[in-house]
A and B are shown apart, each in its own frame.
Chain A
Amino acid sequence: MKLFLSLLFRNRLAGFGAVVLGIVVLAVLATPFLPLPDPNATDTAQKFLRPGTAGHLLGTDHLGRDLLSRLLWGTRLSLAVGVAAAVMAALGGSAVGLIAGYVGGRTDNIIMRGVDMLMAFPYILLALAIVAALGPGLLNALIAVAVVNIPFFARNIRGIVVGLAHREFVEAARLSGMSHIRIMLSEILPNVVPVIVIAMSTTVGWMILETAGLSFLGLGSQPPTADLGSMLGEARAALITAPHTALVPGAMIFLIVMSINLLGDGVRDALDPRLRSGALSRPMAAALVRRNGPVPEASDDLLALQDLHTEFHAGKRVLRAVSGVSLAVKPGECLGVIGESGSGKSVTALSVMGLVASPPGVITGGAARFKGQDMIGADFETLRRLRGDRIAYIFQDPLATLHPLYKVGRQMAEAIQVHHQIGNAEARARALDLFRQVRIPNPESRLDSYPHELSGGMRQRVGIAMALANDPDVIIADEPTTALDVTVQAQILSLLDDLRRERGLAIVFITHDFGVVAQLCDRVAVMYAGRIVEEGPTMAVLEAPAHPYTRRLIACVPELGGGRRELAAIPGLPPAVDALPPGCAFAPRCDKAQEACRAGDIALEGASPRRVRCIFPEEAIA
């Protein structure tokens, strides 16, 4: 709640709206207690008095009634009717939307077509028809306005409910023995309440306006009762001679509707989780770089990460996702980076080409050198030239990285044409050739497929083909086979292995699977809490792990052919990277930890390529 208010008032206009509306609401609430003349007492001798007359602060109307009194009583009525109409429309519309969305199928179809029909009428015509059928009167105007607004709520809520009705927690509720009605009320409704509130806050103003419109036409409140619309209607005849009688209620309508709309927008922005997390703010084209220390010297590797630090700044929290990672690959070499979620392996990969989303990501130190050229802090044009050309990425989910509305052949051609000025026909021929290389069956027809028409394995082949499009020197593959079935995974892995042997590609392969690392990678680096804890030739690390974390992580993974057994588990959880313990990050979970482990920084020691970050390693390393 506190967070909500602070977010709301961060938006100046919404704060202004809240203040104006607050004053109006306070005034109308206090009206019965204020020393005001009777709003309906006529005194034709005193008609059309100008504002500021003694005893009539805002003057009088054509029957000599006190305008201030009528204004406050009228506003009271208009606000009450508008809010009541909004509540009725919200209740009715949400009930309709909830039922249609939850039940689905034919019921949904019939209800929503009915709602569509309601929407097809111009609203004022429909409201007039309802009032004509029910007879004029404020209550009937209220019903008309509520009915006219039901479709808006019904459609909004149904859209949300359809998404929720098949979520797993709803199925879990059914398994807990809940009836359908109970599920709708206690499982789904709490999840749509924010949407209902947002929709209400943005429509209340509109409904006040509609009620005023009906009253203006004489269909709402009946004389002598004042509401804002009927005051305007009565003042119409004297618009030229006594403009203040129309201006007073007009200004009030303007103030109310404007302040409610400003406040409503503020409420929507403050409640919308996407707006709150800042996810809608566009990340920069390249990650923000703010290096504190000196930049390390160049090395002669193809790709070298040197003492890389990447942090995420979220409010006051600083998440040290990567703290001091150094890696290098040579042509034709495959380096595996292994770690659990949150170990910083993906952020390391993204930092190389400045792809970490900024804000909140900041690269705070180190270098990423391609053939000696530092890419961290390089200008955007340099990065853009290298991205996808010399260094290419393969991501975990090709469905998320391919554009759903373009044919895959078109996307392949685009990837090539960004870096090479060639014609469309030539680009297409190139794409076809690449599809053949990654062994996509029927490549000609596949070029004209949309991503959703391909299976997961085929999509990942397209992803690999796209990475190969410009004959890169390095491929960074971030869990490329995690989403795939084992038989498909085996094929993708052997494809990558062939490619690096044939083309001398260097591959940085990020994974959590030791089996995959063992089959594909020459060397492996194990990451924990943003640091490399052990690295070395794959077989050396897997057969004789030196870091306790590596040893125990390997023991956790069951291997096929081992039979039924108790598995070794590591107690506890990986540490949060904004509250890392001093010393070894694994110490709290390690059964060999001693005082020295918790004291201070522990260096990655040993002779390259075999190194370990542990004072009491499992194995002495050469």
Chain B
Amino acid sequence: MSDPALQVEDLSKTFDVGKTLLGGARGHVRAVRPMSFTVERGETMGIVGESGCGKSTLARMLVGLAPPSTGRIEIAGRAQDRADPAAFGRLIQYVFQDPLSSLNPRKTIRQIMEAPLRLLHGMNRAACDARIAEIFDAVNLRPEFLSRYPHEFSGGQAQRIGIARALAASPEIIVLDEPVSALDVSVQAQVLNLLAQLKDEFGLTYLFISHDLAVVEAVSTRIMVLYFGAVVEIGPADQVFARPRHPYTRLLAESAPVVGRPLSAPEQKGTELPDPLNPPPGCAFAARCPRASETCRKLDPPLSDMGHGQYAACHHPL
């Protein structure tokens, strides 16, 4: 049990853009800049960041859907050196943001549920049926749903099916990519509570990606904040937003609408992200940062220890 559930070293992803006629690339976009982090067993690691920060690319690399450009991924002590979803599948699974579009409209729920059991675990019909019954019971779905098609379900039910499919592979880790943002608030709480209960029941480790800070804070043990493809802050969930050390984390926390706090635009400078084709030297947040100095515009700050398990990538932490 000494191995962490997930260990990532120098993981990065660069996309080529503007292919020339001979297949050479005109430019490169670094969607994820080299990052290293560890997720312990039983943890829920929350990952927050705004659109374009690379959180979905990171998730796709972690489950083997996209090959990393550099770096290595180690799951439960085993290095995953080839981006092959089937090899990753038994260890790590993925729950999609849009529950309905992640289910094939022309297959019954039973066919969808059987695929991981048969292909990843080689189960026969009887074993499949028993396991599906067990999982459906765990996620509060009725067995008669199995013969229906995806379009017959509401968003909340479809997301339970998506979670059930991920569980069917008996993974160690589940990556949840915005699992509740397509759901209504009253249903969102049902799914979040179900996830918490399943985690205890099956001894899972979660990576919970969301843009909703309050939701992430409510479910996570640790939180990682991404900006422009890099980790800017990482730390215990109860500290990151309560006592942010990176100015970007504070900006996020102050922007979230909270009942009882007067409306204030915390930032009047341009909110545009830096041009990904032509990234600035130094800290990517410097152009928006009230504390930016000359050093920030020249030198990319490394992630450094701020005490109490909190790390931030900032030359002038708060």
Q: Which residues does A use to contact B, with CB under 8 Å?
A: 106, 167-169, 171-179, 187, 190-191, 340-341, 439, 441, 455-458, 485-491, 493-495, 497, 512-516, 518-520, 542, 552-553, 556-571, 573-574
Question: Does A340 contact B185, Cβ atoms closer than 8 Å?
Answer: yes
Q: Does B38 contact A (CB under 8 A)?
A: no
Neighbour of B266 across the interface among A178, A490, A561, CB < 8 A:
A490
Question: Does B211 contact A167, Cβ atoms closer than 8 Å?
Answer: no
Question: Does B259 contact A559, Cβ atoms closer than 8 Å?
Answer: yes
| Known interface pairs A168-B96, A187-B104, A441-B270; A573-B63 also in contact (CB < 8 Å) | no
Q: Which residues of A contact B267 (CB under 8 A)?
A: 487, 490-491
State the Cβ distance, A399 to closest chain B Cβ, in Å: 13
Report the Cα distance A497→B237, complex, angstroms: 32
> Which of chain B's residues has its CB closest to A341's CB?
B184
Question: Does B218 contact A558, Cβ atoms closer than 8 Å?
Answer: yes
Binds A, one of B3-11, B70-78, B188-196, B296-304: B188-196
Question: Does A173 contact B242, Cβ atoms closer than 8 Å?
Answer: no
Neighbour of B50 across the interface among A171, A486, A558, A571, CB < 8 A:
A486
Q: Does B154 contact A (CB under 8 A)?
A: yes
Question: Does B86 contact A174, Cβ atoms closer than 8 Å?
Answer: yes
Question: Does B257 contact A493, Cβ atoms closer than 8 Å?
Answer: yes
> Which of chain B's residues has its CB closest to A454's CB?
B272
Question: Does A564 contact B257, Cβ atoms closer than 8 Å?
Answer: no
Q: Which residues of A contact B106 (CB under 8 A)?
A: 190-191
Question: Does B211 contact A486, Cβ atoms closer than 8 Å?
Answer: yes
Report the Cα distance A516→B259, complex, angstroms: 8
Report the Cα distance A171→B217, complex, angstroms: 28
Question: Does B257 contact A563, Cβ atoms closer than 8 Å?
Answer: no
Q: Does B169 contact A (CB under 8 A)?
A: yes
Residue in A175, A515, A573 whose Cβ sees the most chain B Cβ within 10 Å: A175
> Which of chain A's residues has its CB closest to B60's CB?
A171
Question: Does A178 contact B185, Cβ atoms closer than 8 Å?
Answer: no
Question: Does A486 contact B23, Cβ atoms closer than 8 Å?
Answer: no
CB interface residues, B 245-271, toward A, < 8 Å: 251-268, 270-271
State the Cβ distance, A212 to closest chain B Cβ, in Å: 37
Q: List 21 A-B contacts (CB under 8 A).
A: A106-B23, A168-B101, A168-B102, A171-B65, A172-B104, A172-B165, A486-B257, A487-B266, A488-B271, A493-B257, A512-B185, A514-B259, A515-B257, A557-B214, A558-B215, A562-B217, A567-B218, A569-B186, A573-B156, A573-B187, A574-B184
| Known interface pairs A515-B256, A515-B258, A567-B189; A172-B221 also in contact (CB < 8 Å) | no
Q: Does B213 contact A (CB under 8 A)?
A: yes
State the Cβ distance, A299 to closest chain B Cβ, in Å: 29
Question: Does B255 contact A487, Cβ atoms closer than 8 Å?
Answer: yes
Question: Does A519 contact B257, Cβ atoms closer than 8 Å?
Answer: yes
Please encode chain B, from 163 to 201, with 1 for each CB lying within 8 Å of some chain A CB and 0 for all others: 001000100000000000000111111101100100000
| Known interface pairs A177-B119, A494-B264; A542-B189 also in contact (CB < 8 Å) | no
Q: Which residues of A contact B89 (CB under 8 A)?
A: 175-177
Q: Which residues of B contact A561 (CB under 8 A)?
A: 217, 241-242, 258
Q: Which residues of A contact B103 (CB under 8 A)?
A: 169, 172
Q: Which residues of B contact A514 (CB under 8 A)?
A: 259
List the 5 shortest-distance A-B pairs measured between CB atoms, nearest first: A515-B257, A177-B119, A569-B189, A494-B265, A485-B50
Neighbour of A169 across the interface among B101, B120, B217, B272, CB < 8 A:
B101
State the Cβ distance, A517 to closest chain B Cβ, in Å: 8
Question: Does A177 contact B85, Cβ atoms closer than 8 Å?
Answer: yes
Q: Which residues of A contact B116 (CB under 8 A)?
A: 175-177
Question: Does A560 contact B119, Cβ atoms closer than 8 Å?
Answer: no
Report the Cα distance A558→B264, complex, angstroms: 21
Q: Which residues of B contact A458 (CB under 8 A)?
A: 272
Question: Does B261 contact A519, Cβ atoms closer than 8 Å?
Answer: yes
Report the Cα distance A568→B188, complex, angstroms: 10
Neighbour of A573 across the interface among B154, B217, B266, CB < 8 A:
B154
> Which of chain B's residues has its CB closest to A563's CB?
B238
Q: Does B94 contact A (CB under 8 A)?
A: yes
> Which of chain A's residues has its CB closest to B265's CB?
A494
Neighbour of B115 across the interface among A173, A564, A568, CB < 8 A:
A173
CB interface residues, B 76-115, toward A, < 8 Å: 85-86, 88-89, 93-94, 96-98, 101-107, 115
Neighbour of B104 across the interface among A173, A179, A571, CB < 8 A:
A173
State the Cβ distance, B7 to closest chain A Cβ, in Å: 21
Please encode chain B, from 153 to 165, with 1 for each CB lying within 8 Å of some chain A CB and 0 for all others: 0101000001001
Q: Which residues of A contact B292 (CB under 8 A)?
A: none
| Known interface pairs A486-B50, A487-B252; A560-B258 also in contact (CB < 8 Å) | yes
Report the Cα distance A515→B263, complex, angstroms: 10
Q: Does B51 contact A (CB under 8 A)?
A: yes
| Known interface pairs A190-B106, A569-B190; A175-B63 also in contact (CB < 8 Å) | yes
Q: Does B139 contact A (CB under 8 A)?
A: no
Question: Does A486 contact B102, Cβ atoms closer than 8 Å?
Answer: no
Report the Cα distance A455→B65, complex, angstroms: 27
Q: Which residues of A contact B213 (CB under 8 A)?
A: 486, 560
Q: Does B220 contact A (CB under 8 A)?
A: yes
| Known interface pairs A487-B50, A569-B189; A177-B217 also in contact (CB < 8 Å) | no
Neighbour of B51 across the interface among A168, A187, A485, A566, CB < 8 A:
A485
> Which of chain A's residues has its CB closest to B113's CB?
A176
Q: Which residues of A contact B146 (CB under 8 A)?
A: none
> Which of chain A's residues has its CB closest to B253's CB?
A560
Report the Cα distance A179→B119, complex, angstroms: 9
State the Cβ distance, B195 to closest chain A Cβ, in Å: 11
Residue in B116, B189, B255 whose Cβ sees the most chain A Cβ within 10 Å: B189
Q: Does B287 contact A (CB under 8 A)?
A: no
> Which of chain A's residues has its CB closest to B84's CB?
A174
> Which of chain A's residues has its CB closest to B254's CB?
A490
Report the Cα distance A176→B106, complex, angstroms: 17
Q: Does B289 contact A (CB under 8 A)?
A: no
Question: Does B190 contact A571, Cβ atoms closer than 8 Å?
Answer: yes
Neighbour of B220 across the interface among A175, A178, A564, CB < 8 A:
A564
> Which of chain A's residues has its CB closest to B150's CB?
A169
Q: Which residues of B contact A564 (CB under 8 A)?
A: 217-221, 237-238
State the Cβ distance, B119 to closest chain A Cβ, in Å: 4
> Which of chain A's residues has its CB closest to B94's CB?
A175
> Which of chain B's residues has its CB closest to A188's CB?
B104
Report the Cα distance A491→B288, complex, angstroms: 14
State the Cβ distance, A54 to closest chain B Cβ, in Å: 58
State the Cβ distance, B267 to closest chain A Cβ, in Å: 6
Question: Does B105 contact A191, Cβ atoms closer than 8 Å?
Answer: yes
Q: Which residues of A contact B266 (CB under 8 A)?
A: 487, 490
State the Cβ distance, A197 to closest chain B Cβ, in Å: 14
Report the Cα distance A552→B188, complex, angstroms: 13
| Known interface pairs A106-B23, A174-B86, A177-B85; A518-B154 also in contact (CB < 8 Å) | no
Q: Which residues of A contact B85 (CB under 8 A)?
A: 171, 174-175, 177
State the Cβ distance, A116 to closest chain B Cβ, in Å: 16
Please encode chain B, from 128 to 147, with 1 for each CB lying within 8 Å of some chain A CB and 0 for all others: 00000000000000000000
